[in-house]
A and B are shown apart, each in its own frame.
Chain A
């Protein structure tokens, strides 16, 4: 009498003998279909759109295939509002001045507030301060200048690593790039990213209402996606140094 173990064994043997239809070459067709949606084409369109926009002297907003990021090129940048003195008292003076949100005592604490684990560039190590801005959903790791990490245009800032979840509204990050800046697609360990350099460019934090309330000038920025996060590193590092730092986030 057949028992179920025997039936299972016969089924397992049968698996090798089933006459399946030939497996079609799906991979090449899938590759063609997803490439049609890729930012490679977007980048070309982006370059053409930029050229056109510059010729017309108009601003243009570009969606570059990075979740939560838009880049706009404009003829002239708004005037930076007067900032409180860099010597403002209190540990969170930089964060207040740059409107980074609330200061948190640790990465674990900010993780609890933000609902995601911020990634840390291993080459930069533990940040000096951690902020979370709830209205924009952005975590910021602040690194003070130190040997090997020169100050940005802000003497109190060596690097800002800002991270937000992909599910945050598309306008959470915004950049307005002056005409002197260049936008260069780069590869961050196989993924896509953009290196924005060459001239100070504006950086906006959008609130979820779609309005912005902050404008400041920054140095060079690398922005890319990492899993569910969109991350930007703002620093005085070279492009290759920034890409190397981005390639070692943990």
Chain B
């Protein structure tokens, strides 16, 4: 049966798949919405890889432009975040390779924000602070591969799939690197815990 042609009515906020499809059809506003949504994730991921805020900014910006150009090749049934993270990771690694003299990333924590939930005793607070200090020190002392996988998975809270995409390694490699890195972090904390 032939139906009368009726324009579509949109009555709900578009989800990510819809925004991506609009962007694929050339809607720049839709793509800018995606950029807004993922700028922080892309920038921080690039920062973990390059260790430099300036390089991370350039890498993220170039990655978003390249992703826009590559949008026609993005398969609608796929997930946009890992697809984007793969491009971001590649851009960041290219910059890191170009500047081998750069010092390794040193993460810092904002001071005085964390309270040990449920145990406010001064001793527990002091112990928690020591643990965090030891953990941060161990993290900063890790080899690049381990620090990146821990950073992506726990500090950026990416999924295993997204971490694998960002680091351009198979998911199995992410899991094995995580197990190894967690083991090393645990060992590094043993003197603290006693």
Q: A-side interface residues toward B, CB under 8 Å?
A: 1-4, 6-8, 10-21, 23-27, 29-31, 33-35, 37-39, 65, 67, 122-125, 146-149, 166, 188-192, 224-228, 237, 240-241, 243-245, 247-248
Contact of A17 with B26 at beta-carbon distance under 8 Å, contacts A2-B190, A30-B35, A125-B3 already known: no
B32-A190 in contact (CB<8A): no
A191-B25 in contact (CB<8A): yes
A34-B65 in contact (CB<8A): yes
Chain B contacts with A in 147-194, Cβ cutoff 8 A: 150, 154-157, 182-183, 185-186, 189-190, 192-194
Roughly how many angstroms separate A243 CA and B8 CA in the complex, as a whole number?
A: 10
Q: B-side interface residues toward A, CB under 8 Å?
A: 1-8, 21-22, 24-32, 35-36, 39-40, 42-44, 47, 53, 56-57, 60-61, 64-65, 68-69, 72-73, 75-76, 107-110, 113-114, 131-132, 135-136, 150, 154-157, 182-183, 185-186, 189-190, 192-194
- On chain A, the residues within 8 Å of B107 by CB distance are 18-19
Roughly how many angstroms separate A96 CA and B156 CA in the complex, as a whole number?
A: 58
Main secondary structure on B side of the interface with A = helix
B182-A7 in contact (CB<8A): yes
Most buried by A among B26, B47, B69: B26
A2 is contacted by which of B60, B150, B189 (Cβ under 8 Å)? B189
B135 is contacted by which of A7, A65, A122, A241 (Cβ under 8 Å)? A7
Q: Can you list 10 pairs linking A and B with CB atoms under 8 Å apart?
A: A10-B135, A18-B155, A21-B43, A24-B39, A24-B43, A30-B68, A65-B26, A148-B2, A228-B73, A244-B8
Most buried by B among A124, A147, A190: A190
Roughly how many angstroms separate A171 CA and B86 CA in the complex, as a whole number?
A: 31
- On chain A, the residues within 8 Å of B56 by CB distance are 21
Contact of A4 with B61 at beta-carbon distance under 8 Å, contacts A23-B40, A226-B25 already known: no
B27-A19 in contact (CB<8A): no
Residue of B whose beta carbon sits closest to that of A4: B182
Task: Given contacts A11-B185, A18-B155, list 9 more A-B pairs with CB under 8 A.
Answer: A1-B194, A11-B154, A12-B157, A15-B154, A18-B109, A26-B35, A31-B35, A124-B2, A244-B7
